[in-house]
Amino acid sequence: MGTVFSFDVRGGEPAAVRAALAEAVAGLHRADALFSTYRDDSEVSRLARGELDVPECAAEVAEVLELAAEAERVSQGWFSTRYQGSLDPTGIVKGWAAERAARALAAVAGVRGVSVNGGGDVQMLGAPEPRRPWRVGVADPLRPGGLAAVISAAGTRELAVATSGTAERGAHIVDPRTGRSAVTDLVAVTVVGPRLTFVDCWATAAFAMGSREGLAWLESLPDVEALLITAGDEVRCTGGLAARLG
């Protein structure tokens, strides 16, 4: 799991914010050390080999596995923490870690707004300025340099935006039912909702489902809106997305 996180924190005492940022960064490194399937010595690798049981792991491992089980249940198995038969919660960890970092930063006294971008998935809390909401562009997978939409957090204190797609590196989403690259008519799915931990999972699941089933399923989820872009350059949205554009 190699990825970049960037933080945007508004308000608060600089020294307190810096200390909280250092803690947030340490928390991300710790998440990588616990969950990376690329590290033989991570707790998740040891769990997968049967060298550890969940109760012996750090508390975060149980927390993430519980959230992942919920994501798997809500997505009817389309989001999965198993890859080629072995435990791989990578799909949920990035969003969870970014959301956790954002919430820790927002708890610092005087902080009025936090935006954390973890590899293109964003958790926003509060607002950057008193009368300006956070705004996130959604990269258009079919038009170099273009934005497919701009999502605004106006009117809400918590909003997350996650995008799954094939645009840059070819298919990297696996259909949990076949174990192969997902056969889908989509090139990108962007999901908007309060918690990054889940919208990230929903984007992955809906991508694997394809546009018809994915859109119907996303529409059924409370507090979730989405934008789906097909290989044929059709844009399909959930009914309430318009209220989040801006």
Partner 1 sequence: MHALNKHRPLRRIVLASAATVSGTVLLLALKPHTVPTVVTANTRPPAASGSSSPGTASGSRTVTGDTVQTRWGPVQVRVTLRDGRLTDVTAVAYPQDNPRDQEINSYALPRLRSEALQAQSAEIDSVSGATYTSDGYRRSLQSALDSAGL
Binding positions for partner 1, rule: CB under 8 A: 1-11, 14, 17-18, 21, 25, 28-29, 32, 36, 38-39, 115, 117, 119-122, 124, 128, 132, 134-139, 141, 143-147, 150-151, 161-163, 165, 167-170, 172, 188, 190, 246
Length of the chain: 246
Residues 6+ apart with CB under 8 A from 125: 102, 103, 105, 106, 113, 114, 115, 157, 158
CB of 21 to partner 1, least distance (A): 5
Select 109 or 147, whichever has its Cβ closest to partner 1.
147
Select 44 or 122, whichever has its Cβ closest to partner 1.
122
Question: Nearest Cα to 89, choosing from 66, 70, 62, 65?
Answer: 65
Select 3 or 230, whichever has its Cβ closest to partner 1.
3
Residues 6+ apart with CB under 8 A from 133: 127, 152, 153, 154, 155, 246
User: Whole-angstrom Cα distance, residue 71 to residue 241?
Assistant: 22
CB of 209 to partner 1, least distance (A): 19
Select 72 or 140, whichever has its Cβ closest to partner 1.
140
CB of 242 to partner 1, least distance (A): 12
Residues 6+ apart with CB under 8 A from 108: 9, 12, 13, 16, 17, 20
State both tokens at 73: 């249940």
Select 72 or 227, whichever has its Cβ closest to partner 1.
227
How many C-beta atoms surround the C-beta of residue 232 within 10 A?
Answer: 9
CB of 109 to partner 1, least distance (A): 14
Q: Is 168 helix (H, G, I), strand (E, B) or coil?
A: coil
CB of 140 to partner 1, least distance (A): 8
Give one word for 119, left, alpha or beta, with left for phi > 0 and alpha for psi -120 to 50.
left
Helix (H) or strand (E) holding 113: strand 111-118
Select 77 or 234, whichever has its Cβ closest to partner 1.
234
CB of 182 to partner 1, least distance (A): 15
Select 170 or 232, whichever has its Cβ closest to partner 1.
170
Residues 7-16 as b/e (b if ≥16 CB within 10 A, e otherwise) read bebbbbeeee
CB of 179 to partner 1, least distance (A): 20
